[in-house]
Amino acid sequence: MNSHLKSRLYISPSSPPFHFLRAIVQSFHLCHRYYAAKPHYDNDRRFRRKEASEGELLHLHKSKGQHLLTNPRILDTIVRKSAIKPTDTVLEIGPGTGNLTLRLLPVARKVVAVELDRRMVEVLHKRVAESGFQDSLSVICQDALKVDFPPFDLVVANIPYGISSPLIIKLVYGENPFQSATLLLQKEFARRLLANPGDSEFNRLAVNVKLVADVEFVMDVSKRDFHPCPKVDSSVVIIRPKPEVPQVNLAEWCSFTKTCFGKKNKTLGATFKQKKKVLELLELSTRTVSVSRNDEDDENDEESDCDEEMESSGCGSGRTLGLFKEKIIGVLRSGGFEDKRPAKMKNEELLELLSLLNQSGVFFHNHANDESSNNVALAAAAFD
């Protein structure tokens, strides 16, 4: 019992009888309040030990991101912030032994859990059966990056750190529409996802995700709330797909942002004056224009001869390369982009620049391969 409580419980022997009885009653209430609060803390600690013990039965691989969230307050907050309705189907990626799953099942219509580790799946099935919600759970024992997700309304997940980037790209650029994704991510990764133009963490991940979705910060989570304890803290974010997205060719956009953010602090003028980059864009633009002409079936003999001359010279003759470089710099200057740096540009500015370059015949992607690629593959290629 702490010293403050002891001082409040002290009764002077010289106290009048009435005051003596009143002091006894006060002492009783104080003791009751003190000891009534203590078991709640102990129960919380016992709960954490129970949640962690499920993982101790298995050998958890830190290298695979197998860190179980055991803090019940954090788990409850994640479920509450997800705003799950009784009619919702929730997709959980990496459920582990089910600490979060057991909180999702009572509030959702159905939970679809994707878990690659069969040992985890066995423990998950056992715990869910004990809770009586086995009819509301569907488990897919496959790689979340390779499997086709069934229809879902929400995503709530403690994502393995190693697959955070490709998994988020798969969600936001995938064919499954959803309302929101409440994700527990590595803190540093979450900061990159939340970064805005001008922030030191601003990068093409944030640019590409925010083209199609809004990202909201929820809270930080200490590494001590996991078992086994990882080396870094985590953060919870909510990703909400935008109701309307810009009309832009995704392949062009992803290749364009990859070019711009390769050296995000260099001016665009410096980036597009590099001979190697100009030659690369000349080759891509020549192929794209050629594909476009074939599709329209409206070839011009004079222009075709010019294209053949470029191809025979590897599109790298000094005069051709010089003219193409002047075209790019001309677009940058006319639009006021030559001295701008990608690290400080908003998506609206980047979209405007890409449109101006495309209109001038400058392209960043080989569109001959578009038919064999889906949105997820194109977006993921931007991070290679």
Residues in the chain: 384
Tokens of 136: 């509301």
3-state SS class at 331 = helix
| pTM given for the model | 0.78
* pLDDT tens digits, one per residue of 245-267: 999 999 899 999 999 999 999 99
Q: Judge whether 158 is annotated as a binding position.
A: yes
**Helix%, strand%, coil% for the chain, nearest 5:** 55, 10, 35
HSE of 284 in the Cβ direction (CA atoms, 13 Å)?
Answer: 20
Domain 250-381 has CATH 3.90.1150.10: no
Look at phi and psi of residue 174 and say left if phi exceeds 0, alpha if psi is from -120 to 50, else beta: beta
What's the mean pLDDT in 62-87?
89
Average pLDDT score over residue span 78-102: 97
CATH superfamily of 63-241: Vaccinia Virus protein VP39 (3.40.50.150)
Please check if 115 is assigned to a binding site: yes
Does residue 19 have a known ligand-binding role?
no
State residue 66's pLDDT score. 72
Residue 94 marked ligand-binding: yes
Looking at 8-12, 60-64, 65-69, 97-101, which range is the least confident one? 8-12
Q: 228: cis peptide before it, omega within 30°? A: yes
Position 348, amino acid: E
